[in-house]
Amino acid sequence: MYRIITVLAAAAIVALPSSAQNFQRRATIVGGGGGDRGKCTIEVVVDGAAEVTIRGDQGTLRNLSGNPASWRRFECSSPMPANAGDFRFEGVDGRGRQSLIRDPRNGGVAVIRIEDPNGGQEGYTFDVMWGGYQNPGRGPVTGYPGGGYPGGGYSGPGPGAHRWTTEQAIDGCREAVRIDARNRFRGRRVEFVNMRIDNNPGRNDFVLGAVEIYRGQGVEERYRFTCNVDFGSGRVRSANIDPRPAGGNWHGESDRMNPGSNRALQTCQAAVENRLNREGFNRTEFQSLRMDDAPGRNDWVVGNARAFGPRGSDSVNFSCSVNLRDGEVRTVNVTRR
């Protein structure tokens, strides 16, 4: 009888579901904190439900249901202190729900639960902050799961915000492009390369760079991107990833988009704003703006935006036919959604 019970117990252990798995990880300390003030950024992949536990610089990812969860990133400015004061949690990216279920001020441990309702893997990113740490230029974006901004845009705190520094502009651009890249390259790891302010005359409100898309252990593709940044209000006006992979020597000066494409994006954006102003809207937030990658449409700019006026706001899709030699807009089409 004892042997039978032992065999059954062993079989039960073998049959434990993958949801019982725990994955440990130690934080990479990147600096930027000081004393009792700091931040950790965590990125994980979930297919079902999982919990992330943080204590100091140690993290545990526990799978609750679905396929095994996995770590992508765990970076901290410093280890999270026990009983951290002024603790805050911010969801950054992900299609499902992220929620703080245990506060480290009650025992020195933070626990975040992630619930992914759809089939297939999804990447989730969140920040935990303590001691009055402020994310550069970031304000909570409401009405969207996980705190992301639909359409690939990224908004700072809006009117009344402090002027952005160069570092804050690059950080805001990185978050905007990350959201757009997550939607476009689902399930693949994204790394940022060579981010900087454009030093061409009249272009000092643009951030340039590239993203490397990974499949498995190696780089699969590289794409250039640009962000148009409003330093005064602390927000990203638009973030655009090139529709096609970069080829050849894509670092350094060749990292810039084609000048004709840049002019086309800028003039289309201005034309759409003018059209919406004539229709009674006084503010436009561009959520995506890019060159059309459909065959035969390489002189078209397409995107979507949200227009605000005295009677409320509308979501719009738009397209512009643009002369790439001089940037002149031939036609503008704006459709309310």
User: What are the residue boundaries of the structural domains of the chain, listed by start?
Assistant: 15-135, 149-257, 258-337
Rg of the chain in Å (alpha carbons): 23
Tell me how far apart the alpha carbons of residues 62 and 70 are, in angstroms, rounded to a whole number.
Answer: 9
pTM over 0.75: no
Tell me how far apart the alpha carbons of residues 275 and 271 are, in angstroms, rounded to a whole number.
Answer: 6
* Per-residue model confidence as pLDDT tens digits over 242-297: 877 775 443 333 334 455 666 777 788 888 988 898 888 888 877 777 787 777 77
How distant, in Å, are the alpha carbons of 65, 146, 225, 280 from that of 126?
20, 8, 23, 38
Which residue's structure tokens are 């603790």? 87
Amino acid at 180: D
* Per-residue model confidence as pLDDT tens digits over 216-240: 655 577 888 888 888 877 788 888 8
**Options 1.25.40, 1.10.3210, 2.60.40, 1.10.490; which CATH number does 15-135 get?**
2.60.40
pLDDT of residue 192: 82
Q: Which range among 57-66, 90-99, 197-206, 326-335 has the greatest average pLDDT?
A: 57-66
| 306 close to 289: Cβ distance less than 8 angstroms | no
- Please give the share of the chain, as a percent, with pLDDT higher than 90: 12
- Copy the structure tokens of residue 137: 């230029």
User: Which of 145, 109, 107, 143 is CA-nearest to residue 126?
Assistant: 145
User: At 51, is the pLDDT very low, low, confident or very high (cuts 50, 70, 90)?
Assistant: very high
Q: Is 3.10.450 the CATH classification of the domain at 258-337?
A: yes
* Per-residue model confidence as pLDDT tens digits over 316-326: 889 999 887 77
Arithmetic mean of pLDDT, 32-51: 83
Examine the pLDDT at 17 and tell me if it is beyond 60. no
pLDDT of residue 156: 43
Q: How many Cα atoms are found within 13 Å in the side-chain-facing hemisphere of 62? A: 10
Examine the pLDDT at 92 and tell me if it is beyond 70. yes
pLDDT of residue 63: 93
3-state DSSP helix/strand/coil percent for the chain, to nearest 5? 20, 45, 35
pLDDT of residue 218: 59
User: Which of 167, 174, 165, 54 is CA-nearest to residue 112?
Assistant: 54
Arithmetic mean of pLDDT, 304-314: 84
Contacts of 193 (CB under 8 A, 6+ apart): 209, 210, 211, 212, 222, 251
* Per-residue model confidence as pLDDT tens digits over 98-113: 888 888 877 789 999 9
Longest dimension (CA), the chain: 88
Pairing of strands 38-55, 189-197: unpaired
pLDDT of residue 157: 39
| Segment among 51-65, 80-94, 180-194 with least mean pLDDT | 180-194
Examine the pLDDT at 3 and tell me if it is beyond 60. no
The DSSP string of 24-65 is EEEPEE----BTTBEEEEEEEEEEEEEEEEEETTEEEEEEEE
Examine the pLDDT at 52 and tell me if it is beyond 60. yes
